Structure 1
């Protein structure tokens, strides 16, 4: 039977890279997003509002996917609102698709806030999580929209009889400008500003992050694991962490990034220096750079997400991620973290997102 994928959130970093990998592996692929996106050749682009049932029914009327991959989310002002809107998005989509009787598997992408807490209480609870983070660690007591999304998938799976998988990447590195949590592009934009103004590349985070071990997830790695889990019976109905497979210290990687851009750097010194404040007032600098170098986006806020980079790099503990669940079942993909960052930087240059 032909494998037909519906990638929900196909314009985002994880959805974009997943769509490309599905096409590479020969899947018929539909991409659903709120905005009309047709930038991936071969993906059948669909546009709908996940909070509008009628919109979904109309757009999906002729679509009968065998696999649904949910890779999107929306941020609201509080975790209570995050839970309401993000659970509704998953529920609405799965309710509409339920009528098709075609779905065999649903994959859901969440992340490490499953272990670290939501935006409202991020790594601030009285007891910090034990690291490396492991899939069997229990849910936290605080409300979390990731848990609400999972529960919607579990309930629909019980009702409709499909299998599921949950994927928890660490910080995602990949090409998707405008993504709400895009550290790689944010650091590239910051480094480009430093180079333009002859300023040092200052590490914005905590001492624990500077000196401790860490890992990240290449968007391509995540895509490979999602597809693997959807086709491997022993992986059905399980949750998986997913990272590149190597570890690093920011004290090392920060230097490597600075060397790539040929700029000076400053490491952790006494206190956190938030990137949000460092980039404050740089909108006109970026606008001038965009004109000078013929960049495609003049709005600094559309190519950087300093707030989320600060959230990751200011954590008071080192964060490493254990991948036992998928490794023991045969998922053996690997990606060099420096290669992940440097490949992204090259893409950003060739795409005129940052200066060449």
Structure 2
């Protein structure tokens, strides 16, 4: 361990979210890095990073806050604005402009001296607009249709070319982790659904539609990918798909998910979790009291993830969404995890933290 002050400075933008927490975990305990966690709201998890609060949609506040932070060698941009109607918002002009504006405000106030990581996902292959070409590969043309990824990516490319720093674009899908209140966290959506079902004396029914093949990405694995590619000069200004390395068919992993909650597997019972779960919020509140859990409401834990779960479970029709990770492997990033192990580990961590009941 070096006795010198850290010469590498990392700014994690959107630090409270799924990706942000995964990135922070990848740098935790490394004395060679000075890490700042940027988010609009206070952090709700322990970290060695220094927290700075800022609302990136407020241009004046962004400039006033970031002007005091100094220079950062690396920036990870994982901030995200979502509409109340999550799925429809992905095609909404205002939502697109807000996300682009947040990145523009950041870069106008502060650019990295060495490297920036930008996060995308399967919307880069048009999965939010209709069936995508499988597997999605990084060299595929941009599909037509609304998408905030492209103006963000163009902005990063222009700034990097003008200022001389490097960038990497990473494309995970169905990122799963420990973030509370995330609009797209399947781990907490499934965990709360399972706990409430068990409390009602039910087996773990599958609430989705017909089977299809997809993939997931562990937030911690994604954090390690962010760190790895940020250090690789040979991967300058490139795009990489990042997934766990296997495929995900929900019914195939359902038995191991049920096992995490000591439940039997039920039959298929397609139902909208958006519509059902608010009606059983009082059951969750009773679970919190009975098991001595941390006093989070169902909405505080899951938020818009019920909308995401309905979509990801294919309630109203699913589609295969596969990403090729060959390019990342060829460039040397070979980290992987079995998706069933990912869910087991994350459920256990949330149970240990008294977020979910055992």
Q: TM-score, normalised by structure 1?
A: 0.90
2: CA distance between counterparts of 1:103 and 1:82? 29
Q: 1:106–1:319: structure 2 CA closer, same or farther, 3 Å change rule?
A: same
Q: Which residue of 2 aligns with 1:75?
A: 82
Mapped pair 1:294 → 2:313:
no
Mapped pair 1:66 → 2:73:
yes
Q: Which residue of 1 aligns with 2:324?
A: 322
Backbone CA RMSD of aligned residues: 1.8
- Secondary structure at the residue paired with 1:45? strand
Gap regions ≥5 residues in structure 2: 1-5
Give the conservation status (yes or no) of the 8 Å contact 1:173–1:184: yes
2: CA distance between counterparts of 1:151 and 1:168? 16
2: CA distance between counterparts of 1:264 and 1:139? 44
Give matches, 1:245-256, under 5 Å: 245-256=245-256
Q: 1:46–1:260: structure 2 CA closer, same or farther, 3 Å change rule?
A: same
1: CA distance between counterparts of 2:174 and 2:44? 26
- Secondary structure at the residue paired with 2:279? coil
Q: Which residue of 2 aligns with 1:105?
A: 115
| Deviation digits for residues 40-87 of structure 1 (CA, Å, limit 9, x no counterpart) | 332011111112232222222232100110011001364201111000
Give the conservation status (yes or no) of the 8 Å contact 2:119–2:170: yes
1: CA distance between counterparts of 2:45 and 2:264? 36
Q: 1:255–1:329: structure 2 CA closer, same or farther, 3 Å change rule?
A: same
- Secondary structure at the residue paired with 2:110? helix
Give the conservation status (yes or no) of the 8 Å contact 1:97–1:103: no
1: CA distance between counterparts of 2:20 and 2:204? 31
Q: 1:92–1:339: structure 2 CA closer, same or farther, 3 Å change rule?
A: same
2: CA distance between counterparts of 1:11 and 1:46? 11
Q: 1:300–1:14: structure 2 CA closer, same or farther, 3 Å change rule?
A: same
Mapped pair 1:178 → 2:184:
no
Among 143, 147, 154, the alignment partner of 2:146 is 143
Mapped pair 1:47 → 2:53:
yes
Q: Which residue of 1 aligns with 2:240?
A: 240
Q: CA deviation at 1:152?
A: 2.0
- Secondary structure at the residue paired with 2:211? helix
Q: TM-score, normalised by structure 2?
A: 0.90
Among 34, 57, 70, the alignment partner of 1:28 is 34
2: CA distance between counterparts of 1:145 and 1:328? 28
Q: CA deviation at 1:123?
A: 4.4
Q: CA deviation at 1:133?
A: 1.7
Give the conservation status (yes or no) of the 8 Å contact 1:291–1:298: no
The number of residue pairs the alignment matches comes to 341
Gap regions ≥5 residues in structure 1: none
Q: CA deviation at 1:38?
A: 7.1
Q: CA deviation at 1:301?
A: 1.3
Give the conservation status (yes or no) of the 8 Å contact 1:7–1:71: yes
